[in-house]
């Protein structure tokens, strides 16, 4: 139904952003909300998913990410939330490579993906992904967050990890390592946390 929304990002939360377009604020669930810039006009590619008791908009940084989301959600056992958690790592080419090389271990490091589901992802998507070129999304530095203190940015990054489905125990295990880094934005902490968790 919707292809994309272009509007002002008025709010950024660990799990979603709000985009104001045409006087309406759209709540859009995204993999990494800190790639978007608050109080600036952004184009967000969207996918509407309607279920029995819920409907939601899922947002993507570019068409390549949206296409990869659609491929992932076509796999039995992968819902929208799991697909977003997988896409939160900006290394989409690494994901595609893991699928093409039957790397079950790589895939099981994502929350909600067990060995059986990882094997199903490989079975369903290996041929499809090898036949198409999907470019990795480019992460953007967020100057709007540059004035935040490290603690605020770190907390936002940790909340985003939790929103993606990682357990508090997993997050607590990597927090000391993140505290020793000199990162400045929540997006940087989120990416660093994802690398440590994998």
pLDDT tens per residue across span 33-68:
999 999 999 999 999 999 888 899 999 999 889 999
**Average of per-residue pLDDT values in the chain:** 86
Burial class (CB in 10 A: 0-12, 13-18, 19+), 164: buried
> Looking at residues 101-110, what average pLDDT do you find?
94
pLDDT at 145: 32
* CB count in 10 Å sphere of residue 18: 17
* Pairing mode, strands 4-12 and 41-51: antiparallel
Q: What is the pLDDT of residue 131?
A: 55
**Which among 125, 127, 133, 139 is positioned nearest to 73, based on CA atoms?**
125
Q: Give the predicted TM-score (pTM) of the model.
A: 0.71
């Amino acid at each position: 139904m919707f292809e994309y929304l272009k509007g002002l990002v008025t709010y950024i939360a660990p799990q979603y952003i709000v985009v104001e377009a045409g006087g309406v604020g759209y709540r859009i669930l995204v993999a990494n909300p800190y790639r978007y810039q608050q109080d600036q006009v952004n184009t967000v590619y969207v996918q509407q998913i309607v279920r029995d008791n819920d409907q939601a908009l899922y947002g993507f940084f570019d068409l390549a990410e949206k296409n990869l989301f659609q491929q992932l959600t076509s796999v039995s056992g992968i819902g929208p939330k799991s697909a977003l958690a997988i896409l939160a790592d900006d290394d989409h080419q690494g994901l595609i490579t893991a699928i093409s090389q039957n790397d079950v271990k790589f895939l099981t490091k994502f929350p909600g993906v067990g060995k059986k589901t990882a094997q199903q992802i490989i079975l369903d998507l290996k041929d499809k992904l090898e036949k198409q070129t999907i470019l990795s999304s480019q992460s953007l530095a967020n100057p709007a967050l540059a004035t935040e203190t490290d603690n605020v940015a770190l907390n936002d990054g940790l909340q985003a990890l939790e929103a993606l489905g990682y357990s508090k125990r997993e997050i607590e295990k990597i927090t000391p390592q993140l505290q020793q880094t000199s990162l400045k934005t929540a997006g940087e902490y989120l990416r660093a946390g994802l690398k440590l968790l994998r």
